[in-house]
Amino acid sequence: MKSQVFGNKVFIGMSGGVDSSVSAALLKKQGFAVTGVFIKVWQPDFIDCTWKEDRLDAMRVAAKLHIPFITLDLEREYKKEVVDYMLREYKAGRTPNPDVMCNKEIKFGAFYKWAREQGADFVATGHYARCARTNRESRISNLEKKDYGLYKGRDEEKDQSYFLWGIKQSELPHILFPIGHLKKIEVRKLAKKFSLATAEKKDSQGLCFIGKVDMKEFLANFIKKKKGDVLDGGGKIIGHHQGAVFYTIGQRHGFTLIEKTPRQNAVYVVAKDVSKNTITVSDTPSKDKAVASVVVERVNWLSFAPFAGAKLRGRFRYRQKLISLTMREVKKDSMVVAVNSHEWNIAVGQSLVLYEGNRVVGGGVVDKLLYSE
């Protein structure tokens, strides 16, 4: 349905996939003046790049829908804001989330800004999420809510709200997620109904825009591998690895164990020390490794800042089951959050996203882990 507040000119990011294709078709059907935009980003020369094929698919869909089509070159912005950020974080021993940064700086950063400058009333993407106006009081804030909010997509298996916490609240009234109320199976059916060229195209996996790529091999082209020791909980050397920067908390593979018995359970990384180039693994993390609370920086509140003591739910990883959290300290751009369950595989650098029901309250980057004494 067209907005009664703004105009009807929409620029939609078209990746050449089925989700953005159906999104464009739905917008056109609803009467919007739609322009398809393929965002060209930086891609390394050491992997097979499919951007030309993806752009061609997007062009075919645009032609089918009889909508204008534009290619927007954001190579420089992507290299600086996503790739360089990711490399800095890994070198520092942190676990970044490039997809979060891609949405914040590219799709709803550079692309959003450019589209609005071109006269777009709305910017749309094929994300499984929802933007909606709300008019109710929140149980975790003293403020009455009469603004736009970001909500989880209807399809719990495909919901992408976790990656969108960096969107500015002021942008929400101008953002459309046309398939946020649909399930994936319904999107596929619509693609066939609209006779779109991407109806049978497989979903892309991996790094935002770049596609399927092994992260360790990707990083190895920028960060030199350095053999190091794998330790057990007591500090004994039980194997070796290719460099502590390549591993993240909870990882179960990519290292070699010297002493391994047939009865030994699978082990995973429970700690790493980049300065000493060691990782520590275990098959049974001890309770003292459970995180009691986290310090979160670079916080973005998508609706309101909850009061200290408020209980919410949240996740540290995409598709992680929502866990119980309690707000300890709340500031404009930082927070301290107590973890009310036994969570040991939280890594510094990951995103923590908070929810009140289906609504995204806000998110930020984990800067420090605090353990029970």
Beta carbons of 285 and 277 less than 8 angstroms apart: no
Which one of the listed residues 58, 102, 124, 267 is annotated catalytic?
102
The torsion region of residue 66 among left (phi > 0), alpha (psi -120 to 50) and beta comes to left
Which residues lie below 8 Å from residue 370, measured CB to CB, with a gap of 6+? 291, 292, 293, 294, 295, 336
Q: Strands 148-152 and 175-176, how do they pair? A: unpaired
Helical ranges in the chain per DSSP H: 18-29, 51-65, 75-78, 84-91, 98-101, 111-117, 184-193, 215-220
Report d(CA 164, CA 363) in Å as an integer: 9
* Residues of the chain by 3-state class (helix, strand, coil), percent to 5: 25, 30, 45
Identify whether 208 is a catalytic site residue: yes
Report d(CA 338, CA 292) in Å as an integer: 6
Angle between helices 18-29 and 51-65 (to 10 degrees): 20
Report d(CA 174, CA 328) in Å as an integer: 33
Which residues lie below 8 Å from residue 117, measured CB to CB, with a gap of 6+? none
Which one of the listed residues 10, 208, 291, 337 is annotated catalytic?
208
Identify whether 131 is a catalytic site residue: no
Sign of CA dihedral 77, 171, 7, 10: positive
Question: Would you call 338 exposed, middle or buried from its count of C-beta atoms within 10 A (0-12, 13-18, 19+)?
Answer: middle
Q: Is 186 helix (H, G, I), strand (E, B) or coil?
A: helix
Farthest CA pair distance, the chain:
68
Report the length, in residues, of the chain. 373
> Residue type for 44, please?
P
What letter would DSSP give residue 211? B
Which residues are the active-site residues? 102, 208
